[in-house]
Each structure stands twice: as structure tokens, then as C-alpha cells.
Amino acid sequence: MRVHNEIFIGTIIGSGGSSSVYVANWKNTSTIYAIKKSVNNKEVCLTIGANSHENIIQFRGVTKLKGEKKYSLILEYADGGTLGKYLKNNTIEWKNQLRFAKEIASAICWLHDKKEIIHGDLHPNNILIHKDAVKLADFGRSCLKGTGCYNTQVWGVMPYVDPKMLNQKIPYKLNEKSDIYSLGVIFWKLTSRSSPFDGLEGDHITFKILNGVREEPVPNTNVKFIGLYQKCWEQEPDERPNISEVNETLSMIDSENDTVTTVPCSKGSKESKKAEFEHSCQIDLNKLCQ
């Protein structure tokens, strides 16, 4: 265990890109946090901006550890690990599959419609479980709507990547419909508990996706849920629903099955919310960089 001022940093619990995540706690307390080391200012800004939704990992603070040039994020610790690991180790019944789908969609609704943020890297290892609830995490690849989000290289976990990003011959601007594609594949995984195109190599997976091949529905899955995720993973972005339409469909599935309800995502003025976020983000970054 390493000590940085008042922070005790323990074992690594995740890694990806240029950052690693460690379990940590404050000196003389039992409160556990997660610390994501070596993040850039953009990620700090977007993490702050995405805060305050119950299905998003909460921002607790930012620090610069001794001997490191970049900032580290102090985040809520998720006790259940990643969604990918959870699905591998647990059999979940339909009502919880639907509940998880609704919680993920609610978080994305918050990002798209309230915060004007595109996540850009949705997959089961960037979705965490805490106290049996879903928590969306990792804004390292995220961007604000309308900003420079053109892909210069393919990133992410291959089966969850928008096909338009896989086609490197045509520059593609990351957008909300990229998140919707990823969401469709995640919904399929909730019902299958399997990895998409399991056993195939990356190039083979890319070839299949670019040619419109998708996984087959799991038998006995709700037909409306199947129809929803199949619309989400359409090849052409314009044929995919937006997140409000996804939530509307999920609500109808809920009423048919008399299961759980979703967290509402109320809409404010997009322009005012975006301006408010950009302003607050600028203030936060100015404070960090003093």
C-alpha cells in the first residue's frame, strides 16, 4: 500500500487506455474510494459535468499525486465490479435484465439530453454495479455534442463500436447514435450473458459488423425488447432511435410485464443547459490549473 499525503492507495482494480484505477481510502477513515490516475483536464471536466445522476459513478474530488504531472480523479467506489464480470458470475432473471436496461438508458438520457455529453465508449466494463444498481463510468473518450469528435483511430471494445467508426476510409464524427449502437449490443448481452461474436478475432468481428451481421436473439426473450435492441444496432445511424425513444419503448415493455419503473430523465432547455455546463466546466478547470 502506498500513501500520498492523506490518501492510502491500494490494489489496482481496473485499467484501460493510459489510465489505471485503484482502490483507496482517506487516512484514519474506513470510507473506500476509487482513484483513477493520470487523467487529462478534458476528462476531469466531463466527469464533473456528468455528475449527480444515481446511475453514474459519482465524482468526489480531484488531486495531483506526488511525483505525477497529471491529475487523478477521486470517484465513488463500486462494490460489485463491472457489469461484464457480474453477468459472467450471476444468472439474472428477466425483471432484473429489464431494470438494468432501464438504469443504463436513464444514465445515457441524462448525458445526452441534460448534459449534452456523448459517452463514446460504452461497453460492459465501463458499466459498474454498486449496491445492486448500475453505475455508468469512464469519460475518457467522451465529448460534448457539436465539438470535434472525429475519429482518427478505432478505440473501444470491438463488438460495441459503431460500425461507422470501424470504417476508417470515411471520417466519422462521434454522436449520440454511436452510444445508441453500443446500447443495443449491451441490451443483447443482458439477455445472453455472452460476449458478442465470442471466439472470433478482431478483424473477423469487424468484417461481420461492417457487413451488417449481428448476434441472434436469445430464445424466450421479450419480443419488444428484441425489437428495441435490433433497432439500436442498425447499420445506419439515422435508423437508430434516440435515447428518449429508447426510454419510451422500455416503459411500454415495463407496463406489459408489470415489473419495475425507470428513473425519469426530465428535459430542460438544451441550449441553456449546455451553456451552463460549459461555463461551470471552465470555472472548475481554471481552479484546477491555478
pLDDT at 148: 64
pLDDT at 273: 43
pLDDT at 14: 86
Give the pLDDT confidence of 3-39 residue by residue, as tens digits: 456 778 889 998 866 678 999 988 778 889 999 998 9
pLDDT at 26: 81
Contact 49, 117 (CB under 8 A): yes
Averaged pLDDT of the chain: 85
Fold of 83-257: Transferase(Phosphotransferase); domain 1 (1.10.510)
Q: Inform me whether the pLDDT recorded for 270 exceeds 50.
A: no
Give the pLDDT confidence of 147-188 residue by residue, as tens digits: 867 665 556 689 999 999 998 777 788 899 999 999 999 999
Binding residue ranges = 37
Give the pLDDT confidence of 137-146 residue by residue, as tens digits: 999 999 999 8
Domain definitions of the chain by residue range: 2-77, 83-257
Contact 18, 110 (CB under 8 A): no
pLDDT at 129: 98
pLDDT at 221: 94
Cα–Cα distance, 37 to 18 (Å, whole number): 9
pLDDT at 173: 86
Give the pLDDT confidence of 62-76 residue by residue, as tens digits: 988 878 888 999 999
Contact 260, 253 (CB under 8 A): no
Q: Inform me whether the pLDDT recorded for 282 exceeds 70.
A: no
Contact 218, 193 (CB under 8 A): no
pLDDT at 151: 60
Choice between 277 and 59, residue whose per-residue pLDDT is larger: 59
Domains 2-77 and 83-257 are alike in CATH topology: no
Give the pLDDT confidence of 206-261 residue by residue, as tens digits: 999 999 999 999 999 999 999 999 999 999 999 999 999 999 999 999 645 543 33
pLDDT at 171: 78
**Per-residue pLDDT band at 268 (split at 50, 70, 90):** very low
pLDDT at 152: 56
In the CATH scheme, what architecture does the domain 2-77 have? 2-Layer Sandwich (3.30)
Percentage of the chain exceeding pLDDT 90: 67
Binding residue ranges for ATP = 37
Three-state SS string over the chain comes to: CEEECCEEEEEEEEEECCEEEEEEEECCCCCEEEEEEEECHHHHHHHHHCCCCCCECCEEEEECCCCCCCEEEEEECCCCCEHHHHHHHCCCCHHHHHHHHHHHHHHHHHHHHHCCEECCCCCHHHEEEECCEEEECCCCCCEECCCCCECCCCCCCHHHCCHHHHCCCCCCECCHHHHHHHHHHHHHHHHHCCCCCCCCCHHHHHHHHHCCCCCCCCCCCCHHHHHHHHHHCCCCHHHCCCHHHHHHHHHHHHHHHCCCCCCCCCCCCHHHHHHHHHHHHHHHHHHHCC
Q: Inform me whether the pLDDT recorded for 102 exceeds 70.
A: yes
